[in-house]
Structure 1
């Protein structure tokens, strides 16, 4: 059986969270001692889990498409396109996940609203 790499674990985790399977994603992929750097929530595992569950419940029809994955071993960066269902706003999002023993132990995330009138014909992706 082939061993699953951290890039695959990262994309499975983020896809499950975006699809609303937040608690299952945490149970499978996130270490108990997980910490994160999202400026809007306390840094502990449970606070972000609850916030992600609330987001999934409030906006179940959002679209999340992974565009690029950069795997450097214990750290994986995932660049994604987020389309919110409730408002006509789209975002380019980067998640950086740090792994230990096949589990996510630390995460950073940042996003940028995609302008509708950008002069860059290449776009964000």
Structure 2
């Protein structure tokens, strides 16, 4: 099923780029056009590669774990937990749109620093 393949590809793409190989991630998973909605990342595949190469150099000890993934049609949503140097923890929601060839062509995300205190015991993970 194409939806399961898109979900697996979104996770592989994210993991590969986050862990320091954005060139291969783009080569394997990105379509002819890549639309970026994150305001700190340039549009297009080259901007994506530059951003993640910079992150690899500046923050080599960062890590990511995948908490949930949801697929609807050609959209995949990933809920992640990231730990950065200094034990800063973030929760992210990333959305990827795939083209008819199964390639990523658009990305949106929302990133939130995990608060030290919460009004409930449910956590963000």
Offset, 1:36: 0.8
Offset, 1:78: 0.3
Aligned to 1:66: 66
Aligned to 1:91: 90
Offset, 1:17: 1.2
Aligned to 1:6: 6
Q: Which runs of 5+ in 1 are unaligned?
A: none
Rounded Cα–Cα distance in structure 2 between residues aligned with 1:63 and 1:6 = 22
Q: Is the helix fraction higher in 1 or 2?
A: 2
Q: String of CA shifts for 1:57-81, please: whole Å, max 9, x gaps.
A: 2111111000000011200000000
**Equivalent residue of 1:55, what SS?**
helix
Alignment of 1:26-65 (within 5 A): 26-65=26-65
Rounded Cα–Cα distance in structure 2 between residues aligned with 1:32 and 1:8 = 20
Runs of 4+ that moved beyond 6 A: none
Q: Which runs of 5+ in 2 are unaligned?
A: none
Rounded Cα–Cα distance in structure 1 between residues aligned with 2:89 and 2:32 = 32
Rounded Cα–Cα distance in structure 1 between residues aligned with 2:31 and 2:51 = 17
Q: So what's the TM-score if we normalise by structure 2? A: 0.91
Offset, 1:109: 1.2
RMSD: 1.5
